[in-house]
A = this chain, B = another copy of it.
Amino acid sequence: MDDHAEGDLLFLTDEQLRRGIEAMFFAYRAFTQDPDRILAERGYGRAHHRALHFIGRFPGTTVGQLLTTLGVTKQSLNRVLRTLMADDLVSARVGERDRRERRLALTPEGEALEAALSDAQRARMRQAYLQAGPEAVAGFRRVLEAMMDPEMRRRYQDGQR
Q: List the one stretch of A78-86, A87-95, A103-111, A141-149 in contact with chain B.
A: A141-149
Are A126 and B12 interface neighbours, CB within 8 A? yes
Oligomer: number of copies: 2
Task: Tell me the bound Cα distance from A54 to B64 in angstroms.
Answer: 38
Kindly list chain B residues whose C-beta atoms are within 8 Å of the C-beta of A27.
Answer: 24, 144-145, 147-148
Known A-B contacts A11-B134, A146-B132; the reply to A152 vs B30 at CB < 8 A is yes
A112 interface hit (Cβ, 8 Å): no
A129 interface hit (Cβ, 8 Å): yes
Are A23 and B141 interface neighbours, CB within 8 A? yes
Give, as a whole number of angstroms, the nearest-CB distance from A4 to chain B.
13
Kindly list chain B residues whose C-beta atoms are within 8 Å of the C-beta of A148.
Answer: 26-27, 30
Are B124 and A147 interface neighbours, CB within 8 A? yes
Kindly list chain B residues whose C-beta atoms are within 8 Å of the C-beta of A43.
Answer: none
Are B50 and A144 interface neighbours, CB within 8 A? no
Question: Per a CB cutoff under 8 Å, which of B10, B121, B146 touches A128?
Answer: B146
- Interface residues of chain A, those whose CB is within 8 Å of chain B, are 10-12, 14, 16-31, 50, 57, 71, 118, 121-122, 124-149, 152-153, 155-156, 159-160
The 7 closest A-B pairs by CB, nearest first: A139-B139, A136-B139, A27-B144, A140-B143, A128-B146, A131-B146, A23-B144
